[in-house]
C-alpha cells in the first residue's frame, strides 16, 4: 500500500510542472505572433510599394529580337534607289502602370498627348489586361511621335512608366517606278521579289540582334543589347539619270503610239555594265500590287483571282530579260561577221538581189520585192538585203552557222544578275534545212532575248570582246569594305579586230544613208542596224521592230537596243522607223550627259558608191519598205 501511494503522488507533481511550462510556451508564442502581426502591418502599409518594386525588378520585361536593317541599293553614282526606314511599335505594360497609383494618370496623359490615343481605350486595356507585360498599342509609328513621347517621359521620368518601343523597318523606293524591273521589291519578312532585291537577297539581308532587360527598384528599364548586323549595300550599274531619260521617252512614245510592249537597254560595250533597262510596263515599287495604271476600277473588280494574278505577273515581268522574240534583221550583223571570220566573204564581196527566191515549196522575198540589184557587202547591211544574207549563209552551212549562233551567246543564258532570264530558242542543227537556214540568216525562225542580242552587238563593235552583262557593280558592307566586286568579266572573244572594224563602218553608214537614218542625232556619229521580224502566225501580220546601235560610231562608248512589240498603227506596224526615232530621242539627251560631244563625219573607205544598179532606182529606192522578210508557200506543180 505504501508503495502505491508514493507513485500516485509523483504523477500529480509532474502534471503541475508541465502545466507551468505549457503556459510559458503559450505566452511566448502569443507575443511572437503579436510581433509578427505588427511587422506585417508595417510592411504592408509603409514598405509595400518598395517590396513590390523589388519583386518586379527580378522579372524580365523583354527578350525580343532587334531587327537588322536591310541593305541599301544605290545607282552607280551613289543615288539611293531602295532603302529601309525605321518605324516603331508602341508597347504597353499594364502590370507596371498599375503597380503604383501615381504612375497611371501621368502615363496615360503622355500617351494621349504624344500619340492621340483614346483615353477610354487605354482605361479598358488596363482593366482587361492588368497582369499583361506586353500589349501592342500602335504599329509603324514615325520617329517624330516617339521623340514627342520621350520628351514627356524625360520631364516626368519618375511617374511615366510602363511604355517602351520596338524598332522595325519598312522598305522605301525614293524614285517610285523608276527602274522597277531592275530593282524589284520586297514582300513581308524581307523576301526579295524580282530584280536585284531577289537576286542579291542574301547580301541585302542581315542578322537580327537581341534585347533583354528588367525593371530596377525605381522601375527604370535596365537593358542588355546584342546589336543586329545590317545588310550590305548594293551599288548597281544603273544611272538613274539615264534611266529616267529612257522612261520619259518611252512615255512620250506611248502618247503618240500604242503597242504590246517596249524594251530599251543601254550598255557600256567595254564593260558589260547596264546603264538603263526599262519597258512600258513599269510599276510603283512602293505599291507593287497596284494595277490602276493599266486597268480601271471596274475592270479590276470584274477580274477573277487568276486573272488579277496574271495581270500582276505581266506587269512585274522584265521584257528585256524574261521574254524572247525573233530578232529580225539586227541579226544580219552576226551572219556577216561569221562569214568574215571564216574568210568565206570579204569587205569587197559583191552580191546580187533579185527580190525573191524559191526554196523547195517556199518563196522568200526581200524587203524590196523588185530587188536591190548588185550590192557590196556594206550595202547589203545598209539596205538590209535578205537575198544577200541567204547567199552568205549558204556558204557557211548549217554546222558553222549554228556554231556562231552559240558563239555569240544565243540559245543560252548570258548569266546576267537578274532572276528569270530566258535562254532563247534555236533551231536544232539537224533541222536547219535549206529554208530554215535561209530564214535564220536574217533573224527569223529562232528566238533571242534583248540582253543576248545587245551583248553580242557590243562584242561586234568593241573589237570582239564579249563581256558578261550585269546590273550590280559592287557590294559593300556596313564598314565600307568591299564584299563582292563584279569586275568586267570578259568571257571570250567573238570576232577579230578587222571584222569589228568592218561592222562599225557598215553600222555607221546604215544610219548615215541606209535603213536607219531616223536614228541620227544632229552633230553625233551614230551606228546601228534596224530589225523587223514577223511574229507568231505569219498570216496575222504582227511584227517586232527594233534598232540596235551605239555612239560614237567609230569607237562606241554606249550601246542601245530598242525593241517594240506590235505597234498598233496600220501605217507603221511593220516599219522600224518608230524604233529608230525613239533611239534618236533617247540619245539626244543621253550623249551630252555621258560627256560624248558632237564630232565630224567619218571617212570610211568601204565599198559604197552612193548609187547601185537596180534598174533606174537610186539610193532612196533601196531603203527598207515595210517588213524585212516575207516567206510564202509556192504552189507545187501538178
State how far the Cα of 356 lies from the Cα of 362, in Å rounded to an integer: 10
Contact 528, 516 (CB under 8 A): yes
CATH-assigned architecture of domain 241-281+323-474+482-633: 3-Layer(aba) Sandwich (3.40)
- Residues in the chain with pLDDT values less than 50: 1-3, 7-10, 55-58, 60, 605, 607, 611-629, 632-638
Contact 176, 284 (CB under 8 A): yes
- Cell 528566238 sits on residue: 447
Name the grid cell of 241.
539619270
Contacts for 26 with CB less than 8 Å, ≥ 6 apart: none
State how far the Cα of 196 lies from the Cα of 184, in Å rounded to an integer: 6
Residue-wise pLDDT tens digits, 182-223: 999 999 889 999 999 999 999 999 998 887 766 565 556 666
Q: For the whole prediction, is pTM greater than 0.75?
A: yes
Residue-level pLDDT at 626: 43
Cα dist from 386 to 353, 439, 578, whole Å: 8, 8, 21
Residue-level pLDDT at 600: 57
DSSP structure class, residue 637 = P
449 alpha-carbon distance from chain centroid: 18
Residue-level pLDDT at 70: 96
State how far the Cα of 631 lies from the Cα of 356, in Å rounded to an integer: 9
State how far the Cα of 463 lies from the Cα of 64, in Å rounded to an integer: 58
The interaxial angle of helices 332-341 and 386-407, nearest 10 deg, is 70
Residue-level pLDDT at 635: 37
Class of domain 60-179+205-236: alpha beta
Kindly report the backbone phi and psi dihedral angles of residue 373, in degrees, each rounded to the nearest multiple of 5, phi listed first. 75, -150
Give me the residue spans of the domains in the chain.
60-179+205-236, 241-281+323-474+482-633
State how far the Cα of 416 lies from the Cα of 418, in Å rounded to an integer: 6
- CA 135, 141, 146, 149 torsion: positive or negative? negative
Q: Do domains 60-179+205-236 and 241-281+323-474+482-633 have the same CATH topology?
A: no
Residue-level pLDDT at 317: 95
Residue-wise pLDDT tens digits, 545-581: 999 999 999 999 999 999 999 998 878 877 889 999 9
Amino acid at each position: 500500500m505504501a508503495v502505491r501511494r508514493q507513485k500516485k503522488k509523483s504523477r500529480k507533481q509532474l502534471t503541475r510542472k508541465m502545466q507551468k511550462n505549457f503556459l510559458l510556451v503559450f505566452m511566448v508564442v502569443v507575443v511572437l505572433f503579436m510581433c509578427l502581426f505588427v511587422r506585417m502591418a508595417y510592411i504592408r502599409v509603409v514598405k509595400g510599394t518598395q517590396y513590390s518594386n523589388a519583386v518586379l525588378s527580378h522579372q524580365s520585361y523583354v527578350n525580343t529580337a532587334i531587327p537588322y536593317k536591310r541593305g541599301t541599293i544605290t545607282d552607280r553614282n551613289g543615288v539611293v534607289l531602295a532603302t529601309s526606314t525605321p518605324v516603331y511599335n508602341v508597347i504597353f505594360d499594364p502590370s507596371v502602370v498599375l503597380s503604383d497609383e501615381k504612375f497611371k494618370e501621368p502615363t496615360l496623359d503622355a500617351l494621349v498627348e504624344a500619340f492621340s490615343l483614346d483615353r477610354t481605350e487605354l482605361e479598358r486595356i488596363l482593366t482587361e489586361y492588368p497582369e499583361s507585360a506586353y500589349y501592342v498599342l500602335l504599329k509603324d509609328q514615325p520617329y517624330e511621335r516617339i521623340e514627342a513621347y520621350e520628351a514627356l517621359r524625360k520631364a516626368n521620368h519618375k511617374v511615366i512608366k510602363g511604355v517602351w518601343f520596338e524598332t522595325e523597318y519598312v522598305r522605301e523606293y525614293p524614285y517610285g517606278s523608276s527602274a522597277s524591273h531592275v530593282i524589284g521589291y520586297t514582300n513581308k519578312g524581307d523576301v526579295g521579289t524580282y530584280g536585284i532585291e531577289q537576286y542579291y537577297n542574301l547580301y541585302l539581308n542581315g542578322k537580327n540582334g537581341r534585347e533583354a532587360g528588367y525593371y530596377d527598384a525605381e522601375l527604370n528599364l535596365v537593358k542588355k543589347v546584342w546589336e543586329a548586323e545590317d545588310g550590305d549595300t548594293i551599288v548597281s550599274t544603273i544611272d538613274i539619270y539615264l534611266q529616267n531619260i529612257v522612261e520619259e521617252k518611252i512615255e512620250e512614245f506611248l502618247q503618240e503610239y500604242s503597242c504590246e510592249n517596249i524594251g530599251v537597254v543601254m550598255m557600256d560595250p567595254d564593260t558589260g555594265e547596264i546603264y538603263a533597262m526599262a519597258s512600258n510596263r513599269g510599276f510603283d515599287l512602293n505599291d507593287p500590287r497596284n494595277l490602276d495604271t493599266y486597268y480601271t476600277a471596274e475592270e479590276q473588280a470584274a477580274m477573277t483571282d487568276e486573272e488579277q494574278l496574271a495581270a500582276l505577273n505581266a506587269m512585274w515581268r522584265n521584257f528585256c530579260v524574261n521574254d524572247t522574240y525573233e530578232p529580225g534583221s539586227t541579226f544580219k550583223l552576226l551572219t556577216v561577221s561569221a562569214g568574215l571570220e571564216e574568210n568565206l566573204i570579204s569587205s569587197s564581196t559583191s552580191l546580187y538581189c533579185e527580190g525573191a527566191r524559191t526554196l523547195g515549196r517556199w518563196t522568200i522575198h526581200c524587203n524590196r520585192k523588185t530587188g536591190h540589184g548588185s550590192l557590196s557587202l556594206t550595202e547589203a547591211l545598209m539596205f538590209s538585203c535578205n537575198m544577200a544574207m541567204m547567199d552568205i549563209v549558204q556558204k557557211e552551212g548549217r554546222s558553222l552557222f549554228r556554231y556562231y549562233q552559240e558563239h555569240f551567246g544565243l540559245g543560252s543564258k548570258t548569266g546576267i544578275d537578274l532572276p528569270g532570264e530566258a535562254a532563247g530558242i534555236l533551231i536544232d542543227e539537224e533541222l536547219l534545212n535549206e529554208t530554215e537556214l535561209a530564214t535564220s540568216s536574217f533573224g527569223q525562225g529562232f528566238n533571242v532575248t534583248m540582253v543576248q542580242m545587245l551583248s553580242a552587238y557590243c562584242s561586234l563593235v568593241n573589237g570582239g570582246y564579249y563581256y558578261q552583262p550585269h546590273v550590280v557593280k559592287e557590294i559593300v558592307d556596313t564598314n565600307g569594305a568591299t564584299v563582292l566586286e563584279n569586275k568586267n568579266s570578259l568571257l571570250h572573244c567573238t570576232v577579230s579586230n578587222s571584222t569589228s572594224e568592218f561592222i562599225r563602218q557598215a553600222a555607221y553608214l546604215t544610219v548615215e544613208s541606209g535603213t536607219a537614218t531616223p536614228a541620227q542625232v544632229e552633230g553625233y556619229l551614230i551606228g546601228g542596224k534596224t530589225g523587223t521580224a514577223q511574229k507568231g502566225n505569219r498570216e496575222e501580220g504582227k511584227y517586232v521592230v527594233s534598232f540596235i546601235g551605239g555612239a560614237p560610231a567609230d569607237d562606241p562608248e554606249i550601246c542601245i537596243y530598242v525593241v517594240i512589240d506590235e505597234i498598233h498603227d496600220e501605217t507603221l506596224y511593220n516599219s522600224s522607223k518608230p524604233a529608230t526615232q525613239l533611239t534618236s530621242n533617247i540619245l539626244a539627251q543621253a550623249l551630252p550627259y555621258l560627256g560624248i560631244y558632237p564630232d565630224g563625219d567619218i571617212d570610211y573607205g568601204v565599198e559604197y558608191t552612193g548609187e547601185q544598179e537596180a534598174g533606174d532606182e537610186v539610193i532612196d529606192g533601196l531603203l527598207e519598205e515595210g517588213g524585212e522578210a516575207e516567206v510564202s508557200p509556192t504552189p507545187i506543180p501538178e
